[in-house]
């Protein structure tokens, strides 16, 4: 846990989603940025995002009210821990609203960092008022009951066209959401810090009047 706190603090202080995405591309991981339909609910463009580790929820569409419609969902929610990011599997049909005020309340109480819901959400005003960061693809006042059910959690899921594994780093800011596989996270952070430094130097020289070509030739960053 202490290691994660240090790592996430480093990311918040030095990096941003776009530069991390560039490094993932450089390393051959070109499918780690979630689809642009996922946008932040919170209106503060500088504080709408989060950083944490994926806790994945596998949703399955149904056409009936199950005997225990919320069983695994409740179990998964109650298991959330500090710095977890809830990642819902994609609801391609848009028939379900699995995230709302009460889920946000539980997540915040348990110390979760945020939620990525590639589906509908509801209770949006109340979520905004409590300040819990959520990325979503639609808003609709539907209950999941009788429409979808959690059939597993902490399993690989596809969200926003990205395959997310439990424990992957999920990093979100106003530009979008990126997924960093655990196996390469240290390499990604080191390379992203270097690129961010080169971008800062490039910006400074551009503002001093140097040409883009001269600055790019010097720092190889764009």
DSSP 172-199: EETTEEEEE-GGGHHHHHHHHHHHHHHH
For the cut 50, the answer to whether the pLDDT of residue 19 exceeds it is yes
Q: State how far the Cα of 25 lies from the Cα of 220, in Å rounded to an integer.
A: 15
User: What is the tens place of the pLDDT at every residue in 96-127?
Assistant: 899 999 999 999 999 999 999 999 999 999 99
Q: How confident is the model at residue 73 (pLDDT cuts 50, 70, 90)?
A: very high
Q: How many residues does the chain have?
A: 222
Report residue 85 as tokens. Answer: 């990011």
Greatest alpha-carbon span in the chain: 68
**Average per-residue pLDDT in the chain?**
95
Residue 94 pLDDT greater than 60, yes or no: yes
- Averaged pLDDT, 21-38: 97
pLDDT band for 220, please (50, 70, 90 cuts): confident
Alpha carbon distance 50, 64 (integer Å): 35
Residue 2 in this model has a pLDDT that exceeds 80: no
Nearest to 198 by CA among 8, 15, 13, 6: 15
Domains, the chain, ordered by start? 31-180 (3.50.30.40)
Q: Give the span between the Cα atoms of 192 and 201, in whole angstroms.
A: 14
Q: Model confidence at 177, in pLDDT bands (50, 70, 90)? A: very high
Counting residues of the chain whose pLDDT is more than 90, the rounded percentage is: 91
Mean pLDDT on 72-100: 96
What mean pLDDT is predicted for residues 31-40? 98
Euclidean distance between CA atoms 78 and 19, whole angstroms: 34
Please check the confidence at residue 1 and state whether its pLDDT lies above 60. no
Write the pLDDT tens digit of every residue in 144-161: 999 999 999 999 999 999
Higher-confidence residue of 210 and 180: namely 180
**Rounded CA separation 167/42 (Å):** 24
């Amino acid at each position: 846990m202490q290691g994660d706190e240090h790592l996430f603090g480093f990311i918040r202080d030095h990096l941003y989603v776009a530069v991390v995405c560039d490094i993932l591309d450089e390393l051959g991981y070109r499918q780690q940025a979630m689809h642009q339909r996922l946008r932040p609910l919170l209106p503060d463009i500088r504080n709408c995002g989060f950083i944490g580790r994926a806790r994945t929820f596998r949703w399955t569409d149904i056409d009936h009210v199950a005997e225990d419609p919320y069983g695994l969902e409740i179990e998964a929610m109650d298991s959330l821990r500090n710095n977890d990011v809830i990642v819902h599997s994609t609801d391609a049909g848009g028939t379900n609203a699995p995230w709302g005020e009460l889920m946000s309340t539980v997540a915040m109480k348990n110390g979760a960092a945020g939620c990525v819901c590639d589906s509908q959400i509801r209770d949006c005003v109340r979520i905004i008022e409590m300040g819990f960061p959520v990325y979503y693809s639609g808003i609709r006042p539907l209950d999941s009951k009788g429409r979808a059910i959690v059939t597993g959690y902490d399993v690989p899921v596809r969200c926003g066209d990205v395959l997310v594994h439990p424990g992957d780093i999920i990093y979100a800011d106003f530009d979008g959401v990126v997924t960093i596989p655990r196996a390469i996270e240290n390499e990604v952070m080191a390379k992203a810090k270097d690129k961010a430094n080169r971008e800062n130097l490039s910006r400074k020289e551009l503002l001093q009047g140097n040409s883009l070509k001269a600055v790019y030739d010097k720092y190889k960053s764009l």
